[in-house]
Amino acid sequence: MNFWETACNLAPWSWAQYDFMRVALLGVLVMAPLFALLGCIVVNHRLAFFSEAVGHAALTGIAIGVVAGLANPLGAMLLFAALLALATTLLRRWSAASSDTIIGLLMASVVALGVVLLSRGGGFAKYTRYLVGDILTLTYADVGGLALLLLVVLAGWIRGYNRLFMVGVCRTLARSRGISPDATEAVFTMLVALAVTVSLQWVGLLVINAMLLLPAATARNLARSASAYVGVAIVVALISGVTGLLLSYYVNTAAGATMALVATGLYALSLVFRRAPAGG
Amino acid sequence: MMPEAHLSGESCAVCEGCCTRLEGIGVRLNGNAVLHDVNFHTHCGELTVIIGPNGAGKTTLLRAILGEIPCSGRLHFTRADGTPAAGRPRVGYVPQRLDLDRTAPVRVLDLFAAALSRRPVWLGVSRHWREATCRALAMVEAESLCDAPLGALSAGQLQRVLVALALHPLPQLLMLDEPLAGMDRAGTELFYRLLSQLRLKHDLGILLVSHDLSAAAQVADRMILLNRTILADGAPEAVLASPPFRRLFGLDLVPPQTLAPVAAQRMARLHHSGLATIRHKGAP
**DSSP string covering B95-128:** -S-----TTS--BHHHHHHHHH-SS-GGG---HH
Per DSSP bridges, beta strands B222-226 and B230-234 are antiparallel
Distance CA A24, CA A15 (A): 11
**What is the reported pLDDT for A238?**
97
**What is the reported pLDDT for B230?**
93
Distance CA B232, CA B59 (A): 18
**What is the reported pLDDT for B134?**
94
Average pLDDT over residues B18-38: 86
**What is the reported pLDDT for B140?**
87
Report yes or no: A166 at the B interface, CB cutoff 8 Å. yes
Q: In whole angstroms, how far apart are CA A18 and each of A14, A278, B174, B209?
A: 8, 48, 64, 68
Rounded to a whole number of angstroms, the CA Rg of chain B reads 19
Report yes or no: B89 at the A interface, CB cutoff 8 Å. no
Q: In whole angstroms, how far apart are CA A30 and each of A43, A54, A59, A236, A241?
A: 20, 21, 23, 14, 10
Residue A126 carries which DSSP code? G
**What is the reported pLDDT for A97?**
59
3-state per-residue secondary structure call for A225-279: CHHHHHHHHHHHHHHHHHHHHHHHHHHCCCHHHHHHHHHHHHHHHHHHCCCCCCC
Give the number of C-alpha atoms closer than 13 A to the C-alpha of residue B68, restricted to the C-beta side. Answer: 22
**What is the reported pLDDT for A98?**
67
Name the CATH superfamily housing domain B1-58+69-83+204-277: P-loop containing nucleotide triphosphate hydrolases (3.40.50.300)
B120 and A161 within 8 Å at the Cβ level: the answer is: yes
What end-to-end distance do the CA atoms of chain A give, in Å?
Answer: 53
Q: Which of A162, A232, A267 to mutate to test the interface with B (most CBs of B within 10 A)?
A: A162
pLDDT per residue over B80-131, tens digit each?
A: 666 777 777 889 999 988 878 888 899 999 999 999 998 999 999 999 999 9
**What is the reported pLDDT for B1?**
33
pLDDT at position B2 over 70: no
Q: Which residues of A touch B104 (CB under 8 A)?
A: 44, 220
The continuous run of DSSP H or E covering A148 comes out as helix A140-169
The helix-helix angle for A19-44 and A181-203 (nearest 10°) equals 150
Distance CA B174, CA B246 (A): 29
Of A158, A169, A223, the CB nearest to B105: A223
Of A46, A172, A226, the CB nearest to B66: A172
Residue in A247, A200, A231, A275 with CA at minimum distance from that of residue A31 = A200
% pLDDT > 70, chain A = 95
Q: Which of A37, A167, A177, A230 to mutate to test the interface with B (most CBs of B within 10 A)?
A: A177
pLDDT band at A278 (very low <50, low <70, confident <90, very high): very low
Residues B100 and B108 sit within 8 Å (Cβ to Cβ): no
Average pLDDT over residues B203-219: 86
Residue in B129, B157, B92 with CA at minimum distance from that of residue A226 = B129
Average pLDDT over residues B266-271: 48
Average pLDDT over residues B146-169: 90
Residue in A270, A267, A201, A268 with CA at minimum distance from that of residue A58 = A201
Distance CA B137, CA B161 (A): 7
Residues B207 and B50 sit within 8 Å (Cβ to Cβ): yes
B122 and A171 within 8 Å at the Cβ level: the answer is: no
pLDDT at position B41 over 80: yes
Q: What pTM value is reported for the model?
A: 0.82
Of A158, A175, A228, the CB nearest to B67: A175
DSSP letter string, chain B: --HHHHHTTPPPPSPSS-EEEEEEEEEEETTEEEEEEEEEEE-TT-EEEEE--TTSSHHHHHHHHHTSS--EEEEEEE-TTSSBPSSSPPEEEE-S-----TTS--BHHHHHHHHH-SS-GGG---HHHHHHHHHHHHTTT-GGGTTSBGGG--HHHHHHHHHHHHTSSPPSEEEEESTTTT--HHHHHHHHHHHHHHHHHH--EEEEE-S-HHHHHHH-SEEEEESSSEEEEE-HHHHHTSHHHHHHH-S-SS-HHHHHHHHHHHHHHHHHTT----EE----
Cα torsion B179, B149, B5, B17: sign: negative
> Residue B201 burial by CB count (10 A; 0-12/13-18/19+): exposed, middle or buried?
exposed
Residues A177 and A166 sit within 8 Å (Cβ to Cβ): yes
pLDDT at position B231 over 90: yes
Is the peptide bond prior to B105 cis by the omega test (within 30 degrees of 0)? no
Strand partners, B174: B92, B206
Q: What is the dihedral of CA B119, B121, B125, B128, to 10 degrees?
A: 40
pLDDT at position B13 over 50: no
Distance CA A43, CA B104 (A): 9
Higher pLDDT, B276 or A34: A34
CB atoms within 10 A of CB A35: 33
Higher pLDDT, B151 or A92: B151
**What is the reported pLDDT for B262?**
52
**What is the reported pLDDT for A122?**
72
Report yes or no: B2 at the A interface, CB cutoff 8 Å. no
Q: In whole angstroms, how far apart are CA B23 and each of B37, B176, B229?
A: 7, 21, 12
Residue A119 carries which DSSP code? T
Instruction: Mention every residue, 6+ apart, whose C-beta is less than 8 A from residue A261.
Output: A244
pLDDT at position B251 over 80: no
**What is the reported pLDDT for A155?**
95
pLDDT band at A94 (very low <50, low <70, confident <90, very high): low
B63 and A96 within 8 Å at the Cβ level: the answer is: no
Average pLDDT over residues B153-175: 90
Higher pLDDT, A165 or A107: A165
**What is the reported pLDDT for B81?**
66
Residue A124 carries which DSSP code? G
DSSP letter string, A37-100: HHHHHHHHTT-HHHHHHHHHHHHHHHHHHHHTT-S-THHHHHHHHHHHHHHHHHHHHH-SS-HH
Of B109, B152, B162, the CB nearest to A278: B152
Q: Which residues of B touch A175 (CB under 8 A)?
A: 66-68
A79-83, A92-96, B13-17, B93-97: least confidently modelled range: B13-17
Average pLDDT over residues B141-158: 90
A174-178, A258-262, B42-46: least confidently modelled range: B42-46
Distance CA B78, CA B62 (A): 18
pLDDT band at B271 (very low <50, low <70, confident <90, very high): very low
Mean of the per-residue pLDDT values of chain A: 87
Residue in A30, A40, A25, A27 with CA at minimum distance from that of residue A233 = A40
pLDDT band at A206 (very low <50, low <70, confident <90, very high): confident
Chain centroid, CA A231 distance in Å: 17
pLDDT band at B187 (very low <50, low <70, confident <90, very high): confident
